[in-house]
Structures are given as C-alpha cells and as structure tokens.
Amino acid sequence: MAALGLPVPDGLILPADLVSEIATGAPVPDLGAFPGAPDILSIRSSPERSDWGGPTAILNIGLSDRETEKLAATIGAAPALDLYRRFIQSFGTGVAGLDPEDFENLYYDQLKLAGLDTHDGLDAGHLSDLVDASKDFYADEVGEPFPQDPHDQLRAAIRAMAEAWARPSARILRQARGADPEAGTALILQTMALGIGQGLSGSGLVQMVDADSGKAVVTGRFLPQSQGQDALMGVRTPHLITRASREAEGQSAPALEELAPDALTALQAADLKATEGLRDRFQFEFTLDRGQVWLLDAMPAKRSARGAVAIAVDLADRGIITREEAILRIDPRNLIQHLHPQIDPDARRDVFGTGLAASPGAATGRIVFSAEAALAMQAQGEAPILVRIETSPEDIRGMHAAVAVLTARGGMTSHAAVVARGLGLPCVVGASDIRLNLRKGVLTVADGRKFNEGAVVTIDGTRGEALMGAARMIQPELGGAYAKVMDWSDDIRTLGVRANADTPQDGRLARQFDVDGIGLCRTEHMFFEEDRIHVMRQMIMADDVDERRAALDRLQPIQRADFEELFAIMQGLPVVIRLLDPPLHEFLPHGHDEMQDLAEAMDLPVSQVTGRAEELREFNPMLGKRGVRLGITMPEIYEMQSRAIFEATLAVNRRADAPVVPEIMIPLVSAYREVEMIKSRIDAIAQEVQAQAGEALSYKLGVMVETPRAALRAGDLAASSAFLSFGTNDLTQMTYGLSRDDAGRFMRDYVNAGVFPEDPFHSLDVEGVGELLLLAANRGRAQNPDLVLGLCGEHGGDPASIRFCQVAGFDYVSCSPFRVPIARLAAAQATLLSRRDRGAADAPGLEPEARGVGSDSVPPTRSASGTG
C-alpha cells in the first residue's frame, strides 16, 4: 500500500524469520530512530493470511508520563491521558499478561467514582486518576513499575508478540485453519495515526463496492475520537459514510461525507488506487487525524457469492485483471446462487429438520406424502413439497410435480438426491430428525410438533434445512456477469462438458445450459412413465423369450420416438446412450396392494406377480443382475434398444443437417468377453437396420467403467471400444465397498471424525478411485490411442474432480444439467491451472499456486501404465 502511494503511516517491517528467532530467545535488534521520528507507535502482526489469527495489535507505544505531558500540549490533556490509559491497559494485557477484565474494572470504578454513565464525561482529572490507578495495578501485579523508556516498551512489545505467535494454542488454531504450523508472521511497526485529539479525528471502516451486486456503493462507518477497533465495538453509535446512506437509514447524525467531504474524496481516490494497484476490491480500516486520512489496513472487500462473480467480471471489464484471472477467482460453487432461488440470508429461519444439502436452491410449498398427492396438489395450482422416507423410481412423476423434496433417509447420491439435482429441485435428504407416519399422513419433528398434508414449509437445499412456513427469497439472475463468466469459460476450457439427460425434456434443459453434448442418457428412465411401465412389467412377467420379445416389440416404437426427439433436440451434438442398467425388480411395484393391481391389470393370479418379484429379489441389488448381465442373459432387451437407437438415427438424419452419431454405452462391464458378445449383437442389428432401410449410419460403441475390474482390464476393453466413460458413483461404491444409499447413516460422522477427508461420493477420492481412473486411462490409451475418455458420475459437477479429469487428460465430464455452469467454469479453471503448472514445470523454482489435485498429487502416469 505504501508503494502505491496510498496514505499509509510510515513504518517498518520485522520479517517473519526474525520474529521467529526473537520468539526462541534472540535479542530484539536495535531499531534506532524511526523514519520521520514520531514518538508514538503501533505494532501489528501480519501473517500470510489474515484468518490465521495472531496477537492483538498494541497501540500507542512510546507513551510515558513525560511523553503524555508533551502530547497533551498538542492534542489536549484529556485525549492524551486517555491514550496513555489505553496504552497501559494494552501493554499490561498484551505484554505483561494481565487480565483485561481487571483494567475494565478500574475503568468502571472510575466512572462510578465520577458519577458518570459514559466515557464522554471523563475529564483530565478523572483520566489522570485512572492512569495512576492503572500504573499502580500494573506495578502491584508485575512487581515493577510501568516502563517509562520507549525503547524498553518497544522491545518488550515486540518480544511479547513474537512469543504469542509461537504459543501452542496459537499454532493449533492456525493448523485448524489450514496453515502450516511452522508458518510465521511479520510484525509491522508504524507511527500512530491517533484518531483522538483536536480537529476531526477518529477511525472507521469503508467499502466502496456492494457486496451483492458488485456495483459502486459506499458502505461503512466512522467514529470520531476513536482508534483501533472502536468503531466496530458499538460503544457509541458511529456515523455513516455517505449522506445517501444516512438518509436511507433515517439517521440524524451527519455522515462523514457531510462532516469532511475531503476525507471521503481522499478515501475514494485511495480505493481507486488500491483497486488498480492491488487488483481487487477492498474494505479499508482508516483513521482521520486532524482531518488527514490514514489507511491502516485493507482487507478483501466483503462479497456474497453473486458479488464475487460481479466483482471479478467488473475488474476484468475494466482491464485491471485478465479474464483468465477473473475466471480463476470465482469459486464455481458460487454460481449455484445464480441458478436457483435462495433464502434471503437475513431472513428469519424456523428450522424443523436438518439433513444433507442434496440439491441447491430453496422453495416454499405445501407438504404432501405421496407422488399421487403431489400431482393432485399441482393440479389445484398449489406448489407441492414431496416428503418421503426415501424415494423410488415410482415417485418420479411426483417429483416432477413437486417444487422441492425432503426425505428422512438417504445420502448425497440416493435416488431422491440424484433425481432432484437432475430436475434442479431443491432437496434435503437424510433428515433423520423428522418422523413420518405415512398412513396417518403426519410429519412429526424433534420438538414434537406435527404437520399434516398441506402445511406450508420451505426447503433450503443449499444449506440442507427444512423451515417452517414461507421464508423470504432472493430470485436467480442469469444475465450480466454470469453470462460473461460462461462465455469466457467456454473460450478457455479444453475439457468438454456434457450433461446427464434421460428424456427429451432433460435434453431441452441441457441445451439451455449450453452443453457440448449428452454424456449419459439412462434409458431406463424412459420406462417409468405411465404408458410404458405397464409394458415394461409385461416384459418382466414374461414366461419365455417369445413373450418377452412381444412386450419388447411394444416398447420399441416408444423408445425409438424418445430417441428421435432427443436426437432432434441435440442437433448433431454427441449423445451417449446407456443400455438398460437397473435390476428388473426396480420396475415392479413394491407393496402388496400395488402387486394386486398389477395382477388384475395383467389378468394374472397375484401369486404369479409376487412369485416373480420374489424370484427377482436380490440381497445386494447394486452387485446383482443388472447392466450388461441383463444384456448377456436376455439378449433381446439390448437388441430392442439398439434397433430403436439405429432407427431413430436414420429417421433424424433424413431431415436434419448435422448427422447423428449415437454413442452406445454398455453398463457394469467386468470382463472383456461381455463387451465382445454385446458388440457383435449390436453390430449385427446395425447391419440389419441399414440393410432394411437401404441407408448407412455411423455409431460408436463404448463401455461404462464402473467396476474396479473394468478399470484394471481397460486395456482389453479399449480394443473393442471407441470410448470409456467412468461411472464414478458405482466405481466409488465398489472401490470402497460402500453403498451410497446406506453410507448416509454414518458418512457425516466419518467425515467429521476425519476418517474420510471428504465424502467420496461428493468429491472424487483421488488416492483410491483416482488411481484406478488413471490406470484405466493409461492402459486404455496404450491399447487404443483414439480412445475417448469421459466421466459421467456425480463427480462430473465437482470442481476438484473436474481438475483431476483435466490433469488425467480426459476428453469430457458429464453432470446433471444444473451443474453444467459450474462444470464449465471449473473446466476453464482446470485448463488454466494445468497451463500454469506446465509453465511452472518448465521454469523450475516457480511454485504452482493452487495444487488441489495438481499433477504431483496423483501417481505419475508412466509408472501406473507400467503395471499393465
């Protein structure tokens, strides 16, 4: 700040190394005379990051009986004595280790003695008595008189602050905040800008940018006759900075602008200089000393998630920072604020349930306990909030109707969480403090209150809370800064961002978020709609291949129509279609009543329905007969699906400009032969469809790598695959031996206890799952250099995981549409960080700033591929 010519009091810096040495007993060097030779000083600690803590600043060093007298001549006796009193207290507590409360008691005793209520009435006599009392107390407690030599004072203060920094409690605090325990602090010695004395003196805080909009708005306060943190302490009511804000708040006390227009002008000039020179926006601590503005500290300006975006874009637009720098400064998660309504941070919150923040945003509505009730309520024009113990595919229609979802069970990747994120619905899962009696339609909360259907609540999916009643909201805003960030990100990033989109509706949504394609279309989701689920169930109830084929023949045109619509929407962008994945029992109803309904609808004895359900029941459905295992044992299912894909491709290509090249993906592969067998069937269907139509088509066939074995054998798989897409949800489950649906019950405990540094379903486990990804990528590419690599788990929307994909050389990530903006920005950041790391590697000695999952925290790719 001094170098920029900002009005900073003169001073000097004791570097961190020297401070460390002093803490371990080295003598404090002779500092000689200060530049400008003032006689009253302050010392502040200055660590690398302000949130690492450190000892409180000591002000007014140099005051003694004699100096106070001299100062009284300049600023008056009472202010001088008050400063001396403050100094004795500050030195006594900060250096001699006395209890600040004792000093406070002396002060209040003096007020009482003087018969006064506030400080304002204390005159020089009172203050002189207080100084004497303070010195006496000091001498009694410390065993020697209060030091009168300014050099003694300074040396003692420096040593005390150095030792305080090195204290174990301070080290622990720093460590807890992410600092290296050995990190040091510099000490800044400055002449005091007194803030107390004649003329307009005082101290304050000012920020010239709005924390939410990033626009030029001046906020802050000023307290005459104060110094240090006084203006923040609330002893007296401070003045506001501008007249406009004073008028807006209806305050009568004049604003600083009115008291000293020059001071505001000086502060504005300083703000501009700091913005340009330090390339960010700041909040300043300032002191007025007889009308003269002094800046004591500049901290990054406070900003909300939206404000951070706006400020970064504004700085770039003004040419103060580059677009790349702007991109790197925005936390991608902050974009969520731009995409969903949020509860106003100042709103009153009556929280009745706490769970996992499964899908961001907030919504107010009326609770319902079933999908049917959600649909009925929606039909009445009301906003339903679906509350369930957990959701299942049968609830999907209800979730479409709902404005938010709350479940009592489930983790970050439970059905409710995944679907809600896909739909962009605010969602809280695993709210274990609520109890549901679905039969009676009652929701009971921890404190015993009960809600019936129709009660108004607000779901805060950003914080993972359920609130009683309607809360005040802030609406999303997609233009302006947000749009610029997206554009710049797309210019920078080299990693593709696709969306997970299961239906034509999802496809439309994905296009709104400017995706590069669809990275995961889960075909089974097409079968849950009312007209389809019945045919799907006929297929499952079929007693032989012929019956099954007959049902599949009825499904085929429906599926083909879905694909046609989806391809048309995507206009030639790549679309990865995953063949049927879930175990068949997921398509059957669960309760006995529903099974009876199904039996009646299909004209079967109910025992046949329950019998089939029993046959299909699995101990561990996640590890059961699903994915390619269905494809191998019931080949007619995948045959139907590939025929539908190919016919849809030809139909769309007849009328579209950009030809569709569908990418067909085989799920849950664990052995090479599985791919070989499915591939030969799909290739045969393609031949057949082309021959029937007399038209040619292109397609790609790839594998979803979800089992550790598929990762290990990626070299084999790559021989028959155009692409590998890592399904990191399942891969994480299998690598940890941990079901995402069941992990919710102890994941929070596990993360809190530090057993796992983070929920591995949330941010990719670089050390375990990540190694499998790298190993698979290397083995796959070694076998097939044209192999396209993607990631399509929930991690596709997580910035740290995206960074990993960039480092690993993947081609794209795929995530739910509402995460796409985050992924686009994170991908741009990953590209920039990789570029910087490469630069750093070229020029040794330059340390990359942000490591995160940097190139050195993942195993070197060469040795990983050597395992093959």
Residues at the site binding a copy of itself, with contacts judged by CB under 8 A: 618-625, 629, 632-633, 668, 670-671, 673-674, 677, 706-709, 712-713, 730, 733-739, 741-742, 745-746, 749-750, 753-756, 765, 767-769, 771-772, 775, 859, 863-864, 866-868
Q: Is 10 annotated as a binding residue?
A: no
> CA-CA distance, 755 to 587, in Å (whole number)?
37
> Smallest distance from the beta carbon of 611 to a copy of itself, in angstroms?
10
549 versus 629: smaller Cβ distance to a copy of itself: 629
CA pseudo-torsion sign 751, 757, 762, 767? negative
Nearest alpha-carbon partner for 817 in 575, 477, 499:
499
564 versus 730: smaller Cβ distance to a copy of itself: 730
Q: What are phi and psi of 359, to 5 degrees?
A: -155, 125
Nearest alpha-carbon partner for 285 in 569, 59, 524:
59
271 versus 581: smaller Cβ distance to a copy of itself: 581
Pair 291, 213: CB distance under 8 Å? no
186 versus 677: smaller Cβ distance to a copy of itself: 677
Q: Is 727 annotated as a binding residue?
A: yes
640 versus 775: smaller Cβ distance to a copy of itself: 775
Asked about 415 being catalytic, the answer comes back as yes
Structure tokens at 738: 């941990």
DSSP 393: G
> CA-CA distance, 447 to 406, in Å (whole number)?
18
Asked about 792 being catalytic, the answer comes back as yes
Active-site residue, selected from the candidate residues 126, 239, 415, 795: 415
Structure tokens at 293: 């503005």
CA pseudo-torsion sign 515, 517, 519, 523? positive
219 versus 778: smaller Cβ distance to a copy of itself: 778
> Smallest distance from the beta carbon of 746 to a copy of itself, in angstroms?
5
> Smallest distance from the beta carbon of 728 to a copy of itself, in angstroms?
13
> Smallest distance from the beta carbon of 394 to a copy of itself, in angstroms?
16
Nearest alpha-carbon partner for 43 in 97, 95, 98:
95
> Smallest distance from the beta carbon of 432 to a copy of itself, in angstroms?
9
> Smallest distance from the beta carbon of 178 to a copy of itself, in angstroms?
18
CA pseudo-torsion sign 93, 99, 104, 106? negative
Structure tokens at 455: 């009660």
Q: How many CB atoms lie within 10 A of CB 448?
A: 6
Output helix, strand, coil percentages for the chain, rounded to the nearest 5: 50, 15, 35
> CA-CA distance, 38 to 74, in Å (whole number)?
13
Q: How many CB atoms lie within 10 A of CB 599?
A: 17
> Smallest distance from the beta carbon of 418 to a copy of itself, in angstroms?
14
Long-range contacts made by residues 525-530, C-beta under 8 angstroms, separation at least 24? 525/393, 525/396, 526/502, 526/558, 526/559, 526/562, 527/555, 527/587, 528/393, 528/394, 528/396, 528/397, 528/587, 529/397, 530/397
Integer-rounded Cα radius of gyration of the chain: 34
406 versus 747: smaller Cβ distance to a copy of itself: 747
> CA-CA distance, 262 to 199, in Å (whole number)?
14
249 versus 749: smaller Cβ distance to a copy of itself: 749
Secondary structure, 3-state, 644-712: HHHHHHHHHHHHCCCCCCCEEEECCCCCHHHHHHHHHHHHHHHHHHHHHHCCCCCCEEEEEECCHHHHH
> Smallest distance from the beta carbon of 792 to a copy of itself, in angstroms?
16
Active-site residue, selected from the candidate residues 427, 792, 805, 815: 792
Q: Is 706 annotated as a binding residue?
A: yes
Pair 488, 323: CB distance under 8 Å? yes
Quick one: 574 exposed, middle or buried, by C-beta within 10 A (0-12, 13-18, 19+)? buried
> CA-CA distance, 96 to 87, in Å (whole number)?
12
User: Distances in Å between the alpha carbon of 751 and those of 344, 460, 743?
Assistant: 29, 22, 11
> Smallest distance from the beta carbon of 399 to a copy of itself, in angstroms?
19
564 versus 586: smaller Cβ distance to a copy of itself: 586
Helix (H) or strand (E) holding 492: helix 480-492
642 versus 733: smaller Cβ distance to a copy of itself: 733
Q: Is 728 annotated as a binding residue?
A: yes
DSSP 528: -
Q: Is 543 annotated as a binding residue?
A: no
State how beta strands 41-47 and 185-191 pair: antiparallel
> Smallest distance from the beta carbon of 671 to a copy of itself, in angstroms?
6
> From the annotation, which residues make up the binding site for substrate?
522, 578, 706, 727-730
Residues belonging to the binding site are 522, 578, 706, 727-730
Active site residues: 415, 792
Binding-site annotation: residue ranges for Mg(2+): 706, 730
